[in-house]
Structures are given as C-alpha cells and as structure tokens.
Structure 1
Amino acid sequence: MTKERQTDSQESLPGIEKEGQGKLTVFLGATAGVGKTYSMLEAARERLTEGMDVMAGFVETHAQTETEALLSDIPAIPVKTREYMGRTFKEMNLEAILERHPQLVLVDELAHTNIPGSRHTKRYQDVEELLTAGINVYVTLNIQHLESLNDVVAQITGVRVLETVPDRVLEAASQVQVVDITPDELIQRLEEGKVIIQGQAAEFMKKFFRPGNINALREMSLRYTAKRVDSQLESYMQTHGIDGPWPSGEKIMVCVSSNPFSARLIRTAKRMAARQNSDWLAVHVAPPGQMPKCEAEKSTMAQNLSMAGKLGAEIVTLHGDDIVEELLALARKRNVSQIIIGKPERTRFKELLHGSIVDKVIRNSHGISIHIICGRREANEQKPEKVKKDNGRSLGNIPLHRKYSYTPYLISALMMAVLTLIVAPAASFLGPVNIFMLCVLPVLFSGARWGKFPAIVTAGIGVVIFNFFFVPPFFTLSVSDFRYVISFVILIIVGFVTGTLSARLKDQINYSRQREEQVTALYSLSRDLTAVDKLERVLDSIARKIADTLDGQVVLLLPDEKNKLVLSQSSSSDHFLTESELAVAAWVYERGLKAGQGTETLGSAKALYLPLTTEQGTQGVLGICFHHPKGQIDPEQISFLDAFAGLAAMAINRIKLASEARQAHTLAESERLRTALFNSLSHDLRTPLASIIGAATGLLEDHDVVYSPDARQDLLQTILQGAERMNRFVNNLLDMARLESGMLKLNKDWCDIQDIIGVAVNRLEIVLAKRLLDIDIPVGLPLVQADYILIEQVLINLLDNAVKYSEPNSKITISVKQLSAKLEISVANRGTPIPETDLSKVFDKFYRLNSPLQVSGTGLGLSICKGIVETHNGEIWAENNELGGVTIIFNLPL
C-alpha cells in the first residue's frame, strides 16, 4: 500500500473536552481513496499493543486486502442489519457498543446517513452519544462533507454532496490527523480499483477525480488543519502569558429568510467567521403578524435557522415593520463589524416598487462592512410550492391560513349598487364631487373590514358605476373630461392604501394576540406552580396547561427509586406511551437532550420529548404528542416549548428540594434529640444509678459493719430518691414520645384538683424537703374533667422545675383560683427571673436556662407540660413574679 503523508494537530483546543467525556480523533482526507481507513486501523493497532481496549464499531474495507488484514487483528462488535425498501443494509450497533463500553471504538464514514428507524438520523450523532458515554472514538471524514464547505465543493467539482457533518463536530475533536496523497497517486489507485464509489464511479471519474479538483480539496483540508494549529498556538500563548499580536475582534451577522438561497449565505458566514476566528449571528426579521405563505416556506425557514444553529451561530429573531432599521439597530447594539446579505432575484421594476433592502442597508450602514451575495439559484434548488392549507394552528391557536371567500366581494358590489340607487335620484342636486366622495365610503368600509383586495375591487366597481351613471357622456364608459381619470386613480389608491393598512393592522392584532396568549400561558403556569406545594398537583397543573396551550397530549415521566422513568402524569386517561416511546424518553433523560418528533434524533417517534433540566440535573421528561402532526419545529416553537419545560423543571425541582429540606430538618431534629438524650443519659441516669449502686453495695457487702438505724435509713432514702429521679426521667421520655407521635390519649374523669396537688406533693416529698411549701387552695372549688395521671405529671414537672431553679430553704407557692369558665393553677418559686425575650422559649424542647445553680435535666419537662395542657384545651405560660422568681401558670376548662 502507498505510504500516505500525514499532518497531525496533536494539541487539543482548550475548553472543548468535558470532564468524563470521550476524546474524538478525526482522520481527515481530501476525498475518498486517500487511505483514511488504513491510517485509522494502523493507529488503532498501536493503541491495541499499548494495552488499550479497542473495538471496531463500523469499518468499511471495500474488500481491500491490505485493509482487511489490518482489521483482522482488531476485535469487532457485530453490526446490525436493517430492512429498507426491500433491501438489507448494515448499520453500526450503537446499543451493543454502549453496553460493551470499550476504551476506544473505530467508526468509519462519519457523514453517513442512517437507515430510517435508527436511533439517530446521522452517524455523527451516534458518535456524539458514544463520546458522551465516555468512550474514545476514531472516525474518518472527507473535507467535502463539512457543512460550511458544501456549496464551495459543489462550485469546484460540480457535484453536490448530500451527506454533511456540522462544523461543531470537527471543532470539538481532540485531534485531527490529515491523510494526504498526490492527485496522480489517487487517480492511479482509482484505476487499479482500490477506490470504490458505488453506483457513481463513472460520474465521479469525469467530474470529481480530476487533478484540479483534488488539489483544491487538498488545499481546503490543509488550510483547515493549519487554522486549527493557529488556534492552538494562540491558546498556548494566552495560557502561558506570551505577548503577541492579537487580531482585533470581529463579529459577523448574516441575514436569513425563508429563501433556499439563505443556506448559501449561512455557509459563507460560517467560513468567514472561521477564518477570522470571530463570533457570528444569524438574524431573521419578521414583520409583526406576518404569517407563513405556505408550509414549504415555513419549513425552509426552520431548516435555515436550524442549519445556522448547527454551524455555531447565535440565532436572533426580530419583529418590526422596517427590516433595515431592525437589522442595523441590532448590528450597532451587538457591535457587528460585517453584515452578509443576499441580493434577491428581483426585476428592476419590483425594486422600484418595493424598494431595495440591500441599497437601504448600504446607505445606512455607517462604518459596517456589507458583503452582498447575488441570489443565483442552483439547479437543484426549487421554489417552494404554494400549498393551500386551511385553518392551520400556531402555538397560540391563532389561524395561520384563512379560508378564501367571495362574500366580501359580493357585499362590496351590493353596497355600491345600493349607494347608486340612493344617490341617482338626487344626482343633479349633489353634483359629481359629492357623489365621488360618497363612493369613497364603501371603499373605506371594505378596506377596514376585509383588507386590500376587496377594497381594490370595491374601488374598481365604484369607478365603473361613477363613470357610467354620473360622468358625461352618461351610460357609457368613455370620459369626456380627462380630469375624471385622476379621480378614478385616486379612488383606486384609496382602496389600495386603506386595505393594506387594514390588513397590516389585523395581522399585528393577530400576532399580538398570539404573543399575549403565549405570555399569558407562561404566566398562568408559573403562577399556578408557585402556589402549589404538592408534587401531584404540580404535575397535574403542568400537564393540563401545556396540553391546552399546545393543542396536544402531554405526559410527564419522573424517575422512581431505581432511577427508572415511570409515567407520573398524563393530560388524558389514554396516553400514547408504548415501549418504543418509553425508550425514547429514557434516552432523553439519560442524555439531557431533546429527541423525537420534529428532531433529528429518533425522529420516527410519535411525540416530542424534552428533558426537564435544572442545575441539579435532569428531573424528568416532558412528552408532547401534537393532535395535528408537525414536521420541522421552528425556532420560535422550540423557544416556547423550552420555556414550558424550564418552568416545569423548576417547579418539580422546587418540590423535591422542599421535601429534602423537610427530611433534613427531621434528621436534624432527630440528631438533636439523640444528642440531648445521650447527654441526659450521661448525667440524669448515671448519677442516680451511681448513688443507688453505692448505697445498695454498702448494705449488701459490709456484713461486719452494723449500721445505725439513721444511717440505714439514709442509704435507703438515697436508693429511693435515685429510683424516683430515674422514674421521672423515663416518664418524661415516654410522654414526649407519645406527644410527638400523636398517640397520647386522654382518659378524662371528674377530678378534684386538691387531691391531684396532694398526690404530686407527696411523691416529691423528699425533693421538697429543703423548700418551704405554701399551698393556697380556696374552699368549694368545682370538679374538673381531666386525665388525673397526666395533670399529676404536669404538677410534678412544675414542682421539680421550681426546686431546680430556687435556692435551698426558699419558698415555693402553689395556688389555685377559679375564673369564669376556667380553673387556674400556678407554681411560683423564689430565684433568678427569666429574661423577657426567653419567657416564650421555656416550653421549647431541650431549652435550658443559664443559671448559676447546678441544674440537671433534659429540658423536656416544661415541653411535656405544654403538650398535656394543650391536649386538655388549656393554656400554659410563664411570667416573672414580684419576689424575684418565676411563676408558671396553666388553666383547665371547667
């Protein structure tokens, strides 16, 4: 095999590679037959000897012995076959490669178009998915398949290449290796049968494989590589702070319309931007309310803007009556230095009639360079057919096409006839001038009511009637006075101007109504989503609102616990999801890219699927199955759909974050409870346990020691106090657990509050032994309906708290008084008062006051009191008393 000369750009462009993404190496050739596949296989064998996991995904050897010999040593993933139009085709098995997940995969013929029904329309999209999955890819590509060079190649060779690859694919490559041989060597290989062009060998021999063509294509491939090396050098200098002459910033704007010729302008702009290393914009100006003339024009417009987006342009759509003013205003605002505009194929008469946009742009450019491309139609470019449609629907449910009707013309003729019958008897009185002015009225009415053409027809009828009945010689169409001809022309002009202005105003109204409906729908959805805090209601609101606005069926799919998409909401009971549709939705969820109907990825699907993406990742998938099937989706629709998807994603994410916040709060509270319990266990359990164990050990082990009755009594009291302290602690924990879980049930009965106070005091007899107890209970108190045990627990906790925060030998007062319908009980001590700001906090869980006294406890006692009292429909509060202590008061309803 002939040895090829190779130029390798080893350094990768900065900012292209993403973390976790595979690296792309492109073996670039001028044309078929230069040895790209052979060079790719040689490089793959080197990687194989280095120990890398290399697999052949799809390699076309064309039955060449040398190529097949190289391929035989490389493991291959079996291709899959597809039936199409009665023939069997081989395609790369993308699913098998993703499942096998090698380190490096070899893919031939990057520009190949997949058989309909494949996951992606183009093979380069398969490669992009492999790169996203973290797999390194070697690919082969000819320079003529680059999208921005498509028309240049056609001009050079006379052959239009139909399969193209967006420039962004090559620009994202980590490495581009040029494979090059001389034209003589290539032609010789063609003659020897080593270059196979199936079905077109004769045509390519005559038109393509000529020395001049090959040299031109070689120059294009080498120039492209040189430009990459230039960019890498500049990047290196910037990274290492090396001073150098930097080119001044340039920005290019290309004007795009629904004309197929705009595709050539877009490619020209891409090439200019690439040569100058500048940003570029693709701008379309649509007069407000202007509707597409036919579906073909709408499709062409969408294709042109889609091509510009694929080539890396920033898409801008403007609305305004003055196209030139809108273009130049944007150019000045965005600091555009060069404008590319096409000169349409118009006659001189049309330019004089409508004005030349190109001339206006040149006159008003003021320092902006204007590049004019003449609109010469290619042989394979056809004018879009004017397809008649009726009652098409837009995003805002505004009709795009009006039904043709003869009614306006009949009514206009009838108005003129009625006017003639009314005016004729008084013709001599009114005179020609007034009659002419009366004839203007139906013209104005027709123009305002029905538009331009009915107004012109009405004006024509008015001219005939006025001439026939009221202009001498009467009852003839001849005119004796030439000045009447001027009046006739004026009447026609009035009809034309009135109708044109009326039609434009109606279109603007329709357009404003459409935009208003869109904005209203977005606002309504955002308002509904903000007010809803339940995921089910959010999903239902999203599905209903989008379905009503877009005239289609909507489904929302969210991941389950196993991260598998499941149907969460549908706008109708019978959804359109099948296994194949779910597979498309799963692909969208995994990749975070739109796919399905109207896109180039899995375009055979019934519905369009959009990822619900936020900064936290993809939250789910939104599926839309339009009731009226759509073809290519225009950029305005895409923007509108993206806005809906963005709102839905943010709403779902907000609900999820709120749920996670609640869970985090619960975990924090649980952690706080656990910490408090451990702290309490270390003191409130260990201290009484230690005293109990010490006293019991003394009684049991010291047999030879004879304790006096008083000493023995003290040891037993120590055991009893420790046990009661532990019992109160455990009871508090159990009561708080029952309160928190809602399992606390009241066992109400008629109780005497004096008995409850007496029992509580007796149980704390030892604790209260070092305090002066003052009990004030009036005689004749009524019984209260309450849970005896729980109210006793409240009083025990309040007395225990009063003891903890008071000095020994100080007074503790228990008082009861009857109000109108309540019984009020208070426990007051003499000690340190509570700051006013903390009075409301003493009933919080785990709240502990700062006190000079050594106070033990968990901080749950008062919180339990609050829960028990409120369960009895009572109230509890704390206040500082006049004697320097704290009084805690609670009441119970009678």
Structure 2
Amino acid sequence: MARHETDLERRPDPDALLALVGQEGKGRLRVFLGAAPGVGKTYAMLSRARAAKASGCDVVIGLVETHGRSETEALVEGLEVLPRRSIDYRGRTLEEFDIDAALARKPQTILVDELAHTNAPDSRHPKRWLDVNELLSAGVDVWTTLNIQHLESLADVVTRITGVAVRETVPDRLLADAHDVILVDITPDELLERLSQGKVYVTDMAARARQNFFIPRNLIALRELALRRTAERVDDEMVDLLRQSAIEGPWATSERLLVLVGPGSSGERLVRTAARLASGLNASWIALYIERAIGESQSAEDVKNVDQTLRLAEMLGAEVERRISEDMVGEALKIARQGNITQILVGRSRANFPARLWRPSLASELVRRSANIPVLVEIAEEIEPPRPQRKKIDGASLRFGVAAAVLLVAVTVGAGVLLERWLPPLNFVTIFLLPVLICAARFGLWPAIVAALLSFLAEDYFFIDPRYTFTISEPYEFITLIVSLVVAVVTGMLASRLRDHSSAMRQRAEAAQSLFEFSRKVAGASELDEVLWSAATHAQKTLGIKSVAFLIPEERELAIRAAWPPIDRLDPGESVAARWALDKNEVAGWRTGTLPNVRFQFRPLATSRGVVAVAGVEPKLTDEPFDAQQERMLTAILEQAAIAIDRSLLVKESVRTAALEESERLRTTLLASLSHDLRTPLAAITGAVTSLRQLGDKMAEADRADLLISIEEEAGRLARFVGNLLEMSRIESGALHPRKDLVDVAEVVRATIARCKKVFPNWRPTTSLSPDLPPIRGDANLLGQVLFNLLDNAHKYGAEGNVIVHARRDGGTLVLTVTDEGPGIKPTDLTRVFEKFYRGGRPDGRKAGTGLGLSICKGLVEAMGGTIEAQSPAIKKRGTRMILRFPCERQAAAAPQK
C-alpha cells in the first residue's frame, strides 16, 4: 500500500506533460540572444547553420542582415538563400522577408535574422516575430537573433538605463516558449574594441553610437539583463524537466498576480512591471480594467490608451478582463478573491491633498480594504492617470442651460414677490431650491450650479433686508445664505448625478432591449441566410459602424453569405485576413497583429464544434478603436449569431442525417427485396431448366409443359420486378414525362383485363363501366400499367374473392375504382401502402411482392394530373377500394350541357 502511494506521489506533473504534448507538430525555435548589437549573434547562427548543413540538415536562409561585415558574408556562401520580397513604400524599394516563399519551400530549418524587426506596410504581419510564429505553426524549425533590449517587459527598463526609447519589441512568451536559447556574450571592452574597428557599424555611425548607446555603463547593465534572463530561462527548463520526470522537490505554491490598469499613458509601464514580477515569481497574472458605471465618460484618447495597454498585457501573457462597477475597489477585491489572487499591483496616485480628501486614491483604498491580500504600489512619476472626465456637453447646450437657469431664477423671484404680498413670511431657501433642481434634472450639473449662485444672489438682493442691495445686516442672515448656497449646490450635484444614473440606465436598457430583440429574431430564424442577414443588419444599425459582413466556409473557401450594406467581394488582403481568422481562430485585420492595414477586422465565430463563421466589421473611424460599449455590444451580437448559426447548421445536418438514414433504410429494404424477389424466381427458372436438360427425354409431355409454363411465369415475374424498379427510378429522378393524349378509359380497362387473363388464366375480374365515360388527358400506356398493378395487388391480397373494376363520371371528374373482397387494410396503414417497399400481408400470412407497386401507381397517377387514395373496408366491412380521380377533358365535360 505504501509503495502504491509513493508511486502515485511521484507520477509526472500533468500540466508539464500537457505542455510537452502541445509542442508536438510544431517547429522548434532557437534564439541567439545578445546584450547589444555587434556581439556576434548572426555570426554564431550562421556558423552553426553551416555545421548543420554539413551533417545533412536541410538549412535555408530566409533573411540574414550582414551589415557589410565581410566575416559574416563569407559564412552565407554555400547556403541556400530565399529571394526577398520587394515592396514600394514612399518612393523607396524595401526588401522584406518573403513568408510565402518560405512556406512553399518548407525546409527543415530556416534562418530569420532580427526577430524584433517591424515589417513594411501591407505585409501580412506587422512584426517579423509573427512571421516566425506562422512558420513554427507550419512545422518549420526557425533560428533567429534577438537583443535583450527588445523584450517587451524590459523595454521601459532599457529606456531608463540608456535613455534611448525601444520601439521594436517582442513578447516575452516567445522567448519562454523557445526550444533553445543560446546566449552570445562578449565583454563590454571587447564589444567597444569591435566597434572601434568598424566591425559593428561604419565609421560615422560607430562614432555616434559610442557617444550615445555604446558606453560602458549601458553595456554592463544590458549584459546583466541578458545573463539574468538566460539564468531564469535555464531555471525554468530545469523545473520543467524535474516535473516531467516526477522527481520530487519542494515546489513553491503557485502565485497569481492582479494588476489594475487605467486609461492613462502610464498604464503600459505598470503592465511591464507586472510582467517582470510575474516572470520572476513564475506566476500567472490578470490585467484588470474597471470602468466606472455611472456619471463618467472617456475620451477617444482614453479608450485608445486602454486598448493599447490591455493588448500589451495580453501579448505579455496576461489574462485580460474588463469590468463595469461604481465601486472599483470592491470589484477588484471580488475578482481577487474569486481568482485566488495572492498579490495585487496598482499605481500610486499623484493627486493633491484636497483631491485625496474628496476622493481617496485607489491605492490607499485597496490597502485599507484588502484584508489578507498583499497590495504592491508601484512608485513612479506618473503611474495612476487622471480621473476620467465627466461628460462634456457642447457649447450650445451649455448656453441654453445657463439661459434656462437665469429665466427660472427670474420666474422664482417674481413668484416670491407675489407670494410675499398674500401669504405669511416664506422660507425662500426652499423656494430657490426649485430652479436648481429643475436645471440639474433637465440640463445637467453646470446649469444647476449657475442656478444655485443666481438664487443665492437673488435671495440676498430681493428678500433680505436691506433690500435691493447686496448688503447683509445680520450675521445669522449671512450664515443662512451660505447654508442655502451649499444646500443648493449639493442638491444640484445629487440631482445631476441622478440624471446621469437615469441616462446610463436608459442606455443599458436600450442595449438590453436591442439584444433581446436580436436574440428573439434569430431564435425564430431556421434558415442560415435568414440568421446571417438578421445579424448583419442589426449589428450595423445598432453599433453605428460602417459595414458588417458574414463569411461561411464552403468547400474550402470563404463565401460572403450576408453583408450590410451589401458588398460583392473582398480584396486579396482582406481574403487572407478572413482565412487567417478562420484557420487560426484569431482576430485578424484592422488594429490586430495580422494584416492591420485592411479595412475590415475579422472575428471568428467559434462554438463547441469549432469556428462556424467569420464576421468582418468595418469601422467608421479607422484611427480610433471601438469604445467599451461598442465592444460589449459587438461581442454579445456575434456570440448570439454564432449560437444561431451553429443551430442552423445542426438543423441542416439533422435533416441530412435523417435523409441518409431514410436512404439507408430504403437501401436495406431494397437489398432484402432483391435477395428474395430475384433469387426465388431465378431458383425456380434454374431448377426447371436443369430438369428439362437432364430429364427432358424421360419426362411426360404434360410435365415438360408445366415446367415451361413455370419458366414463363417466373420470367414474367422478374420482368415486372425490374420494370417496377426502372419506373420508380424514372419517377424519383424526374425523367418521367407522360404524354397528354385523349385517352378512352373504357378501352384501357378492357385491354388491361385482357392482359390479366393471360397472366392469371383462372382469374376473372368484373367490370362495371358507365356508358357516358368522357375521355381524359393522359398516357394510355401509363394508365394501363397503373390499372394492371392495382389488379395484381387485388389478386394477391383479395383472398380469391371477386374483384370489381368500376368507372363513372362525377361532375368534371372521372372516377376509376378497383375493389376486392379481401381482409382489407388497417386504418393506420391506409396512407403507408403508398410508401416505397411497404408490403402488406397475404391472406396466408406471407409477405408478397416488392412493395413498389402502389408507390409506382401513385407516382404515375400524379404525373398525369390525377389522385389516388385507398379506402377500407369497402364491401360488407371487408375488402379494399383503390380510388383514382382524373379531370375530364374540358370540351368533353362541357358537351352534355349544350
């Protein structure tokens, strides 16, 4: 027992094994990491590439920058180099890495220099590391170079150390997920010597670099960062290996970090700090943005800052969340407790003392209310951004509100003067609250404050002695006026806040009503096109965006199935972005990392079955992102559309499945029928022929005649069976085109009875034909076949009773019936008898025929414009009557009325 428990405790870590399995099928990334340009990263990469080439590895150079260094250029010789892609940009020709050529060549290993490089406009990806990601996903091993200052989480640290802003960065997770990280290191003195010898830059550039970037303290700091990051990488690799090998050790408890970001420009610095802290703790982390629910709005710049900050956090490996709450501290602590957060990171406020008294800073409130969760406060020059601005009204609205305040105060003064003459002394403080409340509720805060100030002055001037001056004689009156002013201002602020609450609630109610109407609309839509058109029109009109298009994968291609306003096709770049969203289940296009210059942003609509569609959204303003309200509404609409699309596809698949099941059932029935109805007559014919061949001369004449009759009957049975199959195939394929001749029904009945006497010599059906039968329009041969099939059925199931064929005229319709005296048909089977392969029982209990006869009759009768139905019981609570109705020929039907 103890041994079993020990084995369980030492089993490999499941998460480590899953991470290892997740790398299968992908290419391996090898990063040559250096502290600064010129340390020899490209040289080291090419040296190893030549060695790999000599050992038989398929190595190709996708892109290598030699910067004119002769030693590096010599290493390129002998290696296959892919041609670069030329791009015309502002009158210049740029040479870029051709990812399509690399994917088409698909070598075992490809060299792509300068991982942090920014691609030229109109490239598939804005950054080269995204090209590398696509190569890795395609199963190609990639070798690349990277300087430590280009890591996203270290960009701000490098800027503070060197004074040079780092503009080209790569996410830290790329280095963390790399299969190999090779540190290319030389001392700062050696690097400076290489710089002075012209092995890093040409002479002029080298002189400028030595003055700005290549100074000893910068190089030492960068070298330390590179060594530390490489050491952390080695430590992570060791931990992964120990976990995968089930080697025991004191593993630290998992840490989880929560960072609170705002719309200010310093949010990116806070996110990078959180990324470094999470990396050092081996912790997962959440970037949280909380928008105040009521009374405050954000400028376009604030929305842009939030979007960029959260996008950076996501790129650095964070889980991103957006929330709306009036109590920001309470919402943050709620998420922290639900997510098992161990540390909270927040920026320090730089607000002045009066502002902190009016509204405590977020950091201080978190520290006060966080209880047992540690709060880390980042100290910097500007960490916490200014508070979001309140809603702004335009100048015309403000002027109108102020004019209304003046008018309302004037009316209140007039009313006070009149009331003072007729009523006892009044409390004018209460009266002058009325215009303040009206202005706050109708026009907002600033008109309410103007009304409060005017009320203060008007009360002093018109109603406090000495009147018609601003002089106050008694101290208590001054205090009363000050209190009335404060009460008016506070009342106006509260009323304005209530107005903002009402406005926000109205907007949310409208959004909820819009979503409800959309969900009800798509819930009632069964067809896929109806769902798509509803989603496109609703999203475009509700969100106020330029256009919306829905694309559905059809036969390995994406087809526009609905768009509003309608569009015919996408340009090549948009098609590539849409395909990327479908294949990778990632957002592509406008303001993303994949083809950001196209006009649409393509979002995959994913369900539990995968991506079912792609939605393309074209904004009205390409320079600004969607605001929070638009983003929420768009996400909700697309999620509802994805569910509705998935439901429509499931309905379509269920119909297809039902058809396949029915086809399979019919196929099984047909095979069973063929196995019986073909094998039985063939066996009889084969037996008779064998008997005649072997015993023909020894058999009596009568016996030979019986065998020949048997052969003839069974051959006829086979012919009828094959004929029925052919007729059914013609009916179902639509290849049956009956003639439209004048048909004498009485003549067809007599010919069919004569045919039956030949097939069944001992059977004599009875006919009863009206003498005034009119002709019908149809095909005499097909009508004869229908009548013969009905008589054949009556012979099989009529229990040797009499069969009556009756024809009469009923107004403008000719009625033809075939009635037998058999056991009849059950009421539940009266409609089923016309189904394919349905077979009723004979009087002796055996199944007879193939079950195609009545189905063929129905098809032929309807092809000639008639109807057929079964009636049972027919005579004396027994028997079955088949009733055929055909429209009479018009001229013949009208003749007797003359």
TM-score (norm 2): 0.84
The residue identity in structure 2 corresponding to 1:477 is F
Distance 2:112 2:75 in 1: 15
On the 8 A contact 1:12/1:232 being kept in 2, the answer is no
SS in 2 for 1:406: helix
Correspondence 1:814 to 2:803: yes
Which residue does 2:238 correspond to in 1?
Answer: 233
Of 22-31 and 581-590, more deviation after overlay is shown by 581-590
Distance 1:356 1:709 in 2: 120
C-alpha spacing 1:537/1:99, structure 2 compared with 1 (3 Å): same
Which residue does 2:537 correspond to in 1?
Answer: 544
Q: C-alpha deviations, 1:693-750, integer Å up to 9, x for none? A: 7767888x79994976534532442233123212321332233224323536486978
Q: C-alpha deviations, 1:835-865, integer Å up to 9, x for none? A: 9987765543234569997656433234334
Alignment of 1:208-357 (within 5 A): 208-290=213-295, 292-357=297-362
C-alpha spacing 1:868/1:650, structure 2 compared with 1 (3 Å): same
Distance 1:472 1:633 in 2: 58
The residue identity in structure 1 corresponding to 2:539 is I
Structure 1 residue 469 displacement after superposition? 1.4
Q: C-alpha deviations, 1:45-70, integer Å up to 9, x for none? A: 23222333322222122222222221
Distance 2:385 2:68 in 1: 39
Structure 1 residue 346 displacement after superposition? 0.7
Structure 1 residue 330 displacement after superposition? 1.8
The residue identity in structure 1 corresponding to 2:705 is Q
C-alpha spacing 1:689/1:75, structure 2 compared with 1 (3 Å): same
Structure 1 residue 151 displacement after superposition? 2.2
SS in 1 for 2:398: coil
C-alpha spacing 1:322/1:656, structure 2 compared with 1 (3 Å): closer
SS in 2 for 1:56: strand
On the 8 A contact 2:196/2:206 being kept in 1, the answer is no
Which residue does 2:548 correspond to in 1?
Answer: 554
On the 8 A contact 1:121/1:603 being kept in 2, the answer is yes
Which residue does 2:415 correspond to in 1?
Answer: 422
On the 8 A contact 2:794/2:819 being kept in 1, the answer is no
Correspondence 1:480 to 2:473: yes
For structure 2, list consecutive stretches of 5 or more residues without a partner in the other structure.
1-15, 887-898
Distance 2:202 2:291 in 1: 44
C-alpha spacing 1:746/1:704, structure 2 compared with 1 (3 Å): closer
Which residue does 1:846 correspond to in 2?
Answer: 837
Distance 1:620 1:679 in 2: 43
SS in 1 for 2:175: helix
C-alpha spacing 1:489/1:129, structure 2 compared with 1 (3 Å): farther
Which residue does 2:13 correspond to in 1?
Answer: none
SS in 1 for 2:351: coil
C-alpha spacing 1:66/1:642, structure 2 compared with 1 (3 Å): farther
Instruction: Find 1:860's aligned residue among 840, 846, 852.
Output: 852
Which residue does 2:452 correspond to in 1?
Answer: 459
Instruction: Find 1:606's aligned residue among 591, 594, 599.
Output: 599
SS in 1 for 2:432: helix
On the 8 A contact 1:345/1:375 being kept in 2, the answer is no
For structure 1, list consecutive stretches of 5 or more residues without a partner in the other structure.
1-10, 391-400
C-alpha spacing 1:532/1:155, structure 2 compared with 1 (3 Å): same
Structure 1 residue 290 displacement after superposition? 4.9
Which residue does 1:497 correspond to in 2?
Answer: 490
Which residue does 1:733 correspond to in 2?
Answer: 725
On the 8 A contact 1:736/1:864 being kept in 2, the answer is yes
Distance 2:330 2:380 in 1: 22
The percentage of counterpart residues that share the same residue type is 38
C-alpha spacing 1:501/1:366, structure 2 compared with 1 (3 Å): same
Q: C-alpha deviations, 1:572-602, integer Å up to 9, x for none? A: 3566844554454455455443333233432
Distance 1:455 1:813 in 2: 103
C-alpha spacing 1:335/1:430, structure 2 compared with 1 (3 Å): farther
Structure 1 residue 436 displacement after superposition? 2.3
Alignment of 1:479-628 (within 5 A): 479-551=472-544, 552-558=546-552, 561=555, 563-572=556-565, 577-589=570-582, 591-614=584-607, 618=611, 621-628=614-621
On the 8 A contact 2:861/2:868 being kept in 1, the answer is yes
Correspondence 1:872 to 2:866: yes
SS in 2 for 1:874: strand
Structure 1 residue 350 displacement after superposition? 0.8
Report the RMSD for the aligned CA atoms in angstroms: 4.2
The residue identity in structure 2 corresponding to 1:733 is L
Of 287-296 and 173-182, more deviation after overlay is shown by 287-296
The residue identity in structure 2 corresponding to 1:814 is V
Structure 1 residue 368 displacement after superposition? 0.5
C-alpha spacing 1:369/1:703, structure 2 compared with 1 (3 Å): closer
C-alpha spacing 1:777/1:487, structure 2 compared with 1 (3 Å): farther
Structure 1 residue 265 displacement after superposition? 1.7
Structure 1 residue 683 displacement after superposition? 4.6
SS in 1 for 2:460: helix
Structure 1 residue 676 displacement after superposition? 5.0
Structure 1 residue 765 displacement after superposition? 5.0
Distance 1:49 1:537 in 2: 61
Structure 1 residue 446 displacement after superposition? 0.7
Of 858-867 and 71-80, more deviation after overlay is shown by 858-867
On the 8 A contact 1:29/1:180 being kept in 2, the answer is yes
SS in 1 for 2:238: helix
On the 8 A contact 1:55/1:75 being kept in 2, the answer is yes
C-alpha spacing 1:59/1:538, structure 2 compared with 1 (3 Å): same
Which residue does 1:3 correspond to in 2?
Answer: none
Which residue does 1:359 correspond to in 2?
Answer: 364
Distance 1:465 1:18 in 2: 78
Instruction: Find 1:106's aligned residue among 111, 120, 134.
Output: 111
Structure 1 residue 345 displacement after superposition? 0.9
On the 8 A contact 1:284/1:317 being kept in 2, the answer is yes
SS in 2 for 1:722: helix
C-alpha spacing 1:631/1:44, structure 2 compared with 1 (3 Å): farther
Which residue does 1:5 correspond to in 2?
Answer: none
Alignment of 1:132-147 (within 5 A): 132-147=137-152
Distance 2:400 2:742 in 1: 88
Distance 2:794 2:730 in 1: 25
Distance 1:143 1:881 in 2: 100
Structure 1 residue 274 displacement after superposition? 1.8
On the 8 A contact 2:806/2:817 being kept in 1, the answer is yes
Q: C-alpha deviations, 1:635-671, integer Å up to 9, x for none? A: 6645544444455455555555655555565556556
C-alpha spacing 1:402/1:580, structure 2 compared with 1 (3 Å): farther
Of 231-240 and 543-552, more deviation after overlay is shown by 231-240
On the 8 A contact 2:439/2:451 being kept in 1, the answer is yes
Distance 2:163 2:620 in 1: 43
Which residue does 1:722 correspond to in 2?
Answer: 714
On the 8 A contact 1:611/1:645 being kept in 2, the answer is no
C-alpha spacing 1:143/1:620, structure 2 compared with 1 (3 Å): same
Alignment of 1:625-774 (within 5 A): 625-633=618-626, 637-638=630-631, 640-649=633-642, 651-652=644-645, 655=648, 659=652, 662=655, 666=659, 673=666, 676-677=669-670, 680-685=673-678, 687-688=680-681, 691=684, 705=697, 710-742=702-734, 743=736, 745=738, 763-764=755-756
On the 8 A contact 1:144/1:161 being kept in 2, the answer is yes
Distance 2:241 2:827 in 1: 67
Of 717-726 and 138-147, more deviation after overlay is shown by 717-726
SS in 2 for 1:864: helix
Query: How many residue pairs align between the two structures?
Result: 860
C-alpha spacing 1:417/1:635, structure 2 compared with 1 (3 Å): closer
